[in-house]
Every structure is written in structure tokens, then in C-alpha cells.
Structure 1
Amino acid sequence: MLVFSRRRLAALAATATATVLLLLWLPYRIPVQPSLSESYIFGFNNHAGIAIIALGALLSALIAWRAPLQPYTGLTEQPLPKSALHQALAATLLVNLCLYLLTRRLDGFNESIYLVDRIKLLLEGKVIYRDFEFAYGPLMLYGPAWLCRLHLPVGDAYNLFWIAANLTGVWMAFKTLQWIDAPAPGRRLLFVLLVCLSLLAATSTGLNYSLIRYILPCFLGLDLYRRLAPINRPRTQPPVILLALPYSLAIFLVSPEVALSFVLGISVYLLLYGHLRLIPNLLAYLAALSGIGIAIHLAQQAGYFYTMNAFRTGGLNFPIIPGPHILLFLLALGFSSIYAAGQICRRHPSGLLMLLAVSAAGVVGALSRCDQIHTFMNPLGLTIASIAIANQYRSFGKAFRYATLAVYLVIPTLIGAPALARSFSRAALPSLFAWEGNRTGTALDRIVFRRMERSLGPTLARIKFDNYKTFATGHLPADLSPLYGYPAGTQFLAPFGFTPSRFGTAHTPQIDEGYFLEDINLINDASVQRKVAEIAAHPERPLLILPGREGSCVRFGDRAMIRSLFLVPYNRPAQHVGETLNPLCNYILNNYELKLPDTPMRYGYAVWQRRTPPPA
């Protein structure tokens, strides 16, 4: 535990204040690259904001360099009992099974719509990253696809893999907290927080928000740390150092940005504490880095980093507004920087330092789309380590733990609960309608229609109700062409997606959605031009579009959403109009014309036909 003089404390306070003040002013003065994001609309440069925060963290580390060290004299908590793990696994299994049963008929719900659709493309023989966009590691698709060999439906195979991943993530979180080699009062509370956040994320039904994606680098990093020789007893250990290669590849199977953060962190940590002055260790280190470099090159050639590189242009970013969770994150980053400085200057390796190393680069992602879930989960090693470090300061550590619990779990749950309840009630409708069959005018029909009518009015409510009923009580026909007034076997394009139920997937080879699913991850000019080129390549194919969607490509910024996420007033004027998607809408409006309006029998989709060129 570092001890600070008044002068050092004053310098740290001045650094923190200057960082926050600069964050409120400077990023709005630096031009922003056009992208689909709130940051672009309001003129906030996240790259500048991240640079300011990184500079503040570096200054904090320099101020704390060689500060006096005092042994920690607080109470140490006993290791987590296995009963805590058993209870967490049981709760995870129960919640996951309930969510599975509720959304089973939808073939995807919320985040899993994207994943299930990509799995279906994979099973059709299309090549991941080359033939369709995918933002995550291949295991998220190949795992469920392999389970389909057991003759399981795609949705069931996905959910089985998703449940297994969630249970594995809870077990890894338990082991990670067990392995922390520092006094950690509040270890139980931290485990409860991780499990509860995992359960909250499970309501998205997405593997991409599964705990395993974020805890895996922490788990593997600590396992490698425990195998390394102590700093005061150097020995040759090439097999241990070479583990960096398979561990990195394992994380690349799950997530590109998390894996790159792990590679960077493990490289620096081994450089400092891997006893590389011994030639066998140095050769093993270089061999591991060479293997990782080759893997990254091959992955780049395969298009593995396509979506991650698109996000680097600023897509889906939020302004870094000093709301409660941002201030708490900055405090955690400050703790971590100070702790890392104290350990490195004394050449003291530790498990907490390993956690900080493998998650440090995750700070960039956390401060890009900087809502609560990303600032907590993206650099999860930093989150865990900062709580353990704060705990060394007794009463302050306790306050920090409970503030983390309130800001990252309690408040988001209370704010999001009504919307979540509405979403799940709508998700249950297809199952309820299917249960009552083709009967009309039932009590359920009247209740659902009245609720829709109150929010939409009678005309829109009738259209939406009929769409739900049509989809729930029947299957998509084998050939959709007659439904839309075209000869049998006609191929269609759906540039904004095709979801008859408005929830899950309704994937059919007859309808081509292109490289991207709907407009998901269509976040910069290059990706939009790719979508336009796909439409231009098939002028003979009609377009299926929900009414009004072809003219809704301009965004004006959502201050209400920013206020609800950051819990602070936000009234800045928009600096730009979000026109990233505009070339897509303009191309459709300039080259296509409406042929058939939407009807419930067509699942609410209108048909657009290529304009006939005027005679010469």
C-alpha cells in the first residue's frame, strides 16, 4: 500500500481536476471523422478524450513513482467458498433456461438475432468474414454450428452453446478471484457483482455479452502468472513463456479487440518479469511473438479485423461525459496507474499487475462506446484490480465497492427494467398466438390489440397486430415470390433486413440481405458504399423494405438517451447531421420506385422495383 505526502496528494488532485476540465472542453474543439455515432453528431472527438485521460493516468503514475510503501495491515478475507460458486452456477442456469424458453420460438432475440442469422449463413456454406460480416471471434459461430450436427435446430444449438458459455464464464470469474494474490476484502461482493452483471447481460441473449468474453484474458493471464518463476529466483522456463501463444490464439477465437489487448499486455509483462536475460527464455518469447504475429497477419488477410477497423473510425461512439460511471472509471484508472507505477519501479510482479497489463488496451474500447456495460466489462481486469487496490485503504475501499455496485448494477437495472419488461412481453406474443392457433377475437387478441391501440392508434395498431398474428400462426412459404407478385423463384434483396416477426430471424436463401445484417455495424462511409454496391450489382432483384425505412437514413442525435446513460444534463447543440447512411437511402430513392405497398399478408414489407429508364 503506497503512502502519499500532502504534496503528492495535492498533485494527484490537481491532475484529476485538470483531466476532467480538459475532457469537458478540448475534444469538442478537434474535428471529428464522419461516422454513425452520437460523438460525431455532437462534435466530440473520442480520440482526443482518450489521449487526455491517458496523459492524466501517466502523470498520476509519475507522481506516485517511488512513493513510500507501507505493508497492508487490514483483515484478509478467506477464499471464496465453493458454495458461492454452486449458487452462482444454479442461478445462471435457471435464468438462462427461463430466457431460452421465453424466446425459443423467435430464432433469436435482441443481440442473438445477429448471431443466429450469421450461424445460418455459415451452415449454408458461406465463409465467415469473407461472405458475411461478423464482429467477433469464429468460436461464437462454429460452436453452435458444430452442435447442429447433433440434429438440433439452429436456435436450440445456439442457446445450448450460450448457456454453456455463461456457466463457464461464471466458473472462470470464481477462479480468477480465487487467484488474486493481494488482500481483497469484499471478494464476495465482487463475485456477486460479476455474477449479477452476467445475469443482466444474459437478458440480451447474446454470446457477445457473455461474461466469458471478458473474463477469459484475466483467467489465462493469471494462470500464466502463477506458472512464472519468482522474480528473485530466475530459471529457464521456455514452456511457460510459450503458453502466451496458445492462450492468445484461444482469445482470438472469441474476440479480436480483447485478444489484441491480451497480446499487448502479456508481451509487456513477460518483457518485465519473464527472466528474458536467460537465452532459452528470450528465444521462447521471440518464438511466441512470431507465432502471434503470423496468426494476426493471416487473420487480417481473412477479413477478421474488418469490423474492428471500422469501429476505429468512431462508429457508435458516445461523448465521454463525466457522469457517475465515467468518474468512477477515471478513479479506477487512477488507482490502477498509481499501483502499477509502485510495482514496476520496485520490480515487484503481482497478479493484479498482470490483470492490469492484459486489460490496459481495453480502455480504448471502454472510452469509445462508453456506456456502463462497456466501461465495466471491456477492461474487466482493470475493474477487478482497481477494486482490490482500493480495498487496501479500508473505509475508502468499502465506499468504492458499494459505489461500483450502485453505478454499474443497481441504477442501470432500475432505469432499464421497464423497457426490458416491455421487450420480453412482446417477445412472448408469438408463442401465445401460436398456442391459441388461428382463432380470432379471443381474450388475448383483445388485450394485445388494446395495448397496441393506446400507443399507436387504431390504424397502425391493426397493421402491427395483423403482422404478429400472421407470422405466429403460420410458417413462411417455401417460395415467397407469389406473395410479392413475382414469378416463382424470384430472388429479392432486403437492404434493411427481413424480420417478419420484428424479433428473431426468418432467414431464407431467397432473400439476400448482403454482407451486413440490416444496418448493423454499417457505421462508416466504406461500409455504406459496400452496401450500395451490392444493390447496384443486382438491378434485376426487387427490394423488400419496411414502410418509411428507405427515407430514414438521417440522424439528429439523441440527447435523451445520453442523459439516461450518463445521468447528467446534456444540452449541447448538434454540430453535424448524422448522414453516414444517406448514400444508401438516396440510391434507393433515385433508382427504385414503389411497386406494391405493405400489407399484413406480406409481413408488413413493401416491394420496390428498379425504375425503367426513359426511352432514348
Structure 2
Amino acid sequence: MYFIWKAVDWTAGAVPRAKSIFLLIAGFFFLAIQGEGMQYTPVRFLSSIILALWVERAYRSGKNLFLVFSIAGVGATLVLLFSPDQGIQFMIGTLLYFTLCQRNPRKGLYPALILFCLFSVAAVALGWRLGEFKYFVRIGGGALNFPLLFSLTSVIVLLYVVFAGAIAIAAYRNKQLDHPLIYLLALALITMPPAMGRCDPGHIFINTIGAALAVMVVFAQHKVFSVWVRFPLLVCWPSFTSRRYGQIKRSQCHFRRWLRSLSVILKLLVSTNGWRCECTGRWSQAKEFARCTLSLTFLKENGFPMEQRCSHLWDRVSASIPRSAAYEFSPAVIQEACSRPITFPKKKSETCSAIQRVLFSWLRTGKGDALLIQRTCARR
């Protein structure tokens, strides 16, 4: 919430209806956190905006440019390691803003930008080495929910993007591109692909939140357009909240499954001969099984096909099992072993439970056996 307040304070300040802007953004993230957890926290999607606004304020205040952009480079590295898309957004957006939008650039700006580029290259290399960009490769093939099915909420949120383009054109015609709001528009421009890649109200808003914030700040200063600041509160959020209610109910189910997984952890940690632990590393194995249990249940509830569930299980388990036993848990083996329950329509719900029993058997025995997998998964 502090990040949201600082973003509104540094952009809106004493602008009328600044509290409405804060409540709109904070209310959206509160609903997202209730349904989605830490994946959609304000820290992730506002860290690059806060860092960009700080850099712009430090640039205007006359601070040492090499110090400012060195801090910006370190901050870009941390943001990229936390959320790769936000790190790339900050790096490219900063270069666009300070190279194309400055009417009277300060002396030493371009050498400082070269230093920032070096930090950015090092950050990208480090992120690539740590595997931070695998997600980009996985979803880089196009829209995740094509064809697009727009709702009233989606249309209203997309109007903010259209208005942002109009603001950028007006700033260009009035020669006022060197403005903090244009910096926010530059950041939002970089994250338009993920916003349109999964074109629902939530992903559009969080990936273009800089543009939405800039539009709300501009509209709040004009009585004719100020209705657009509070209009989403009256139209969008009731329907948005009604959909989130179902997610809140599902989160309660996830909590109950977590309690069941906790009981599994206790069974694995405690041997049958009293409270004595027999196997070293059993704690990490138990946690891995609990994570796989929750992940597979989530994939099944959201309609993921069997192939993706097997592939997901393989990705989660292959990092922890011995290399000698890795081939026995390949996706093809698991899929073939679990294909029998799928042939019975009434037994489809047991597919994930069969996979979980396979993983549980491996955790108890410490080794994999293809015949054991088939016998376990064939059990109905």
C-alpha cells in the first residue's frame, strides 16, 4: 500500500481527487491479492514505477547523474530478478525517456546512460544465467486466451490505453515530453505485449498501470473528464468483485488442501517407529510433494489438459530426483501410466490423485520403478 501511495503522491500530489485515484488502484490490488496471492502484489507491478519516478525526481533536482544512474542500474537488476517483465520495462522505458523526450538534456546525461546500459546488460546476463527468462520463451508464441472476448470492464480499461495515446500526442504537440507522466507512458508502452497477450481486465490494468495512473492524474485536473476517475469505481469494480468472490471461495479450498498436505509432511517426517526421523533430506522431499499436490490440483481445477499436467509434474520433480532415476519419471511414462483412468469417464477426477500417489510412493521408497508407477496409477 505504501508503494501505491508514493506513486500517487509523486504523480498526483495536490491534484484534486488524488484520494479517489489511490482508492481505485489500492482496491484493485486488494481484490487481486485476495484471489491470486503474492503473484499480483503492488510490490511487483509498482516497483519499476517507483524507481522510475525517483530517478526522474533526482534528475530534476540536479543530483550527480553518475550516482543517480548507478543506483538506477542496481535497482533495475533487483527488479529484474524479482519480476523479469518489470525489469525489462524499466530498462527500455528509461532509455526511451531520457534519449528521446528531453528538450534540454543535462550535461553528462548520455555518459551516465551508457553506464546505465552496462548495468542493464549485466543484469540481463545474470537473469539469463539464472533462468529468469524461461517464462518469456514459454508464452512468447501468442495470446494465451485467444480469441478475445471483451466485457464492459475490459472496454473501459482499454479506453485508458487509448486516452494515454492521446495524452502522449498532446504532449508532443505542446513540446512537453520531458514530464514524469510521459515517463510512465514510456514504461507502459514496453509492457503492452503482456497486457494484450492475455487480454482480460486484470492483466491489461496491471501491465499498463503507469498509463492508467497518468490518465487519471490528467483527467482529475479537468471537471469535464474527472468522471473517468470515479467511473470505474461505480461500473467496473462491482462486476469485478463478483467474479473475485468465486476465487476467494476457491482460496479457502486451497487452504484446506494445504492442511491435508501438512499432514502428509508430518507422516513423511515421522517414521512408523515413534518420533524418529529415518531419512536425511526427508523434509525437503515432503515439501516438494506438498507443492506438487497443490500445483496439480490447481491445474486440474482450471482445465489444463493431461499432457500439461504430466509435463508440469516432470518439471517439478526432475530437479529433486536422482539423475539415475530421472528417465523413469519422464512425461511419456507418467502419461502412459495415467492414461488408463482417463478412459473411464467417471474416473477422470482420479488422474491427479494417481500422479500424486506415484510421487508419494517415490518419496517413501526413495527410488522410482516404472512397473510400480503403472500398478499405482492403474489402481482405481
Pair in the same fold by TM > 0.5: yes
In structure 2, distance between residues paired with 1:481 and 1:513: 23
Shift of 1:283: 0.9
Matched, 1:209 2:5: no
Structure 2 vs 1, CA of residues 254 and 588 (structure 1 numbering), >3 Å: closer, same or farther? closer
In structure 1, distance between residues paired with 2:131 and 2:110: 32
Whichever residue aligns with residue 290 of structure 1, its letter is: L
Secondary structure at 1:340 match in 2: helix
Whichever residue aligns with residue 266 of structure 2, its letter is: H
Q: Which residue number in structure 2 is paired with residue 76 of structure 1?
A: none
Q: In structure 2, which of residues 14, 21, 27 is the aligned counterpart of residue 196 of structure 1?
A: 27
Matched, 1:267 2:91: no
Structure 2 residue runs without a partner (length 5+): 341-346, 362-368, 373-380
Aligned 8 A contact 2:89 2:187 in 1: yes
Q: Which residue number in structure 2 is paired with residue 508 of structure 1?
A: 286
TM-score (normalizing by structure 1): 0.46
Structure 2 vs 1, CA of residues 303 and 272 (structure 1 numbering), >3 Å: closer, same or farther? same
In structure 2, distance between residues paired with 1:611 and 1:354: 60
Q: Which residue number in structure 2 is paired with residue 117 of structure 1?
A: none
Whichever residue aligns with residue 314 of structure 2, its letter is: K
Aligned 8 A contact 1:490 1:510 in 2: no
Secondary structure at 1:366 match in 2: helix
Q: Which residue number in structure 2 is paired with residue 610 of structure 1?
A: 370
Q: Which residue number in structure 2 is paired with residue 476 of structure 1?
A: 267
Aligned 8 A contact 2:265 2:287 in 1: no
Aligned 8 A contact 2:80 2:127 in 1: no
Shift of 1:210: 1.0
Identical residues among aligned pairs (%): 18
Structure 2 vs 1, CA of residues 611 and 592 (structure 1 numbering), >3 Å: closer, same or farther? farther
Q: Which residue number in structure 2 is paired with residue 360 of structure 1?
A: 189
Matched, 1:179 2:10: yes
Q: Which residue number in structure 2 is paired with residue 560 of structure 1?
A: none
Shift of 1:425: 6.4
In structure 2, distance between residues paired with 1:213 and 1:538: 39
Greater shift, 361-370 or 236-245, is seen at 236-245
Whichever residue aligns with residue 610 of structure 1, its letter is: A
- Structure holding more helix per residue: 2
Aligned 8 A contact 1:335 1:389 in 2: no
* Equivalence map 1:421-432=2 (5 Å): 421=249, 423-424=251-252, 427=255
Q: Which residue number in structure 2 is paired with residue 531 of structure 1?
A: 314
Shift of 1:266: 0.8
Higher Cα Rg: structure 1 or 2?
1
Structure 2 vs 1, CA of residues 237 and 334 (structure 1 numbering), >3 Å: closer, same or farther? same
Aligned 8 A contact 1:183 1:392 in 2: no
Greater shift, 412-421 or 351-360, is seen at 412-421
Structure 2 vs 1, CA of residues 205 and 319 (structure 1 numbering), >3 Å: closer, same or farther? closer
Secondary structure at 2:150 match in 1: coil
Greater shift, 602-611 or 263-272, is seen at 602-611
Q: In structure 1, which of residues 286, 289, 302 is the aligned counterpart of residue 117 of structure 2?
A: 289
Shift of 1:301: 2.4
Matched, 1:381 2:210: yes
In structure 1, distance between residues paired with 2:91 and 2:130: 19
* Equivalence map 1:187-586=2 (5 Å): 187-204=18-35, 206-229=37-60, 237-273=65-101, 280-314=108-142, 316-348=144-176, 349-398=178-227, 400-406=228-234, 408-421=236-249, 423-424=251-252, 427=255, 475-478=266-269, 508=286, 518=296, 528=311, 531=314, 534=318, 539=325, 584=331, 586=332
In structure 1, distance between residues paired with 2:337 and 2:249: 41
* Equivalence map 1:46-65=2 (5 Å): none
Could you list the per-position Cα deviations for residues 62-87 of structure 1 after superposition, in whole angstroms to 9, with x for gaps in the alignment?
Answer: xxxxxxxxxxxxxxxxxxxxxxxxxx
Greater shift, 322-331 or 401-410, is seen at 401-410
Structure 2 vs 1, CA of residues 314 and 593 (structure 1 numbering), >3 Å: closer, same or farther? closer
What CA RMSD, in Å, does the superposition of the two structures yield over aligned residues? 4.7
Name which structure has the greater RCO, CA cutoff 8 Å, separation 6+.
1
Matched, 1:588 2:334: yes
In structure 2, distance between residues paired with 1:202 and 1:376: 14
Secondary structure at 1:477 match in 2: helix
Structure 2 vs 1, CA of residues 252 and 519 (structure 1 numbering), >3 Å: closer, same or farther? farther
Q: Which residue number in structure 1 is paired with residue 365 of structure 2?
A: none
In structure 2, distance between residues paired with 1:344 and 1:235: 27
Shift of 1:196: 1.8
Aligned residue pairs, count: 339
Aligned 8 A contact 1:274 1:281 in 2: no
Structure 1 residue runs without a partner (length 5+): 1-169, 432-467, 483-487, 493-504, 544-582
Structure 2 vs 1, CA of residues 391 and 319 (structure 1 numbering), >3 Å: closer, same or farther? farther
Whichever residue aligns with residue 588 of structure 1, its letter is: I
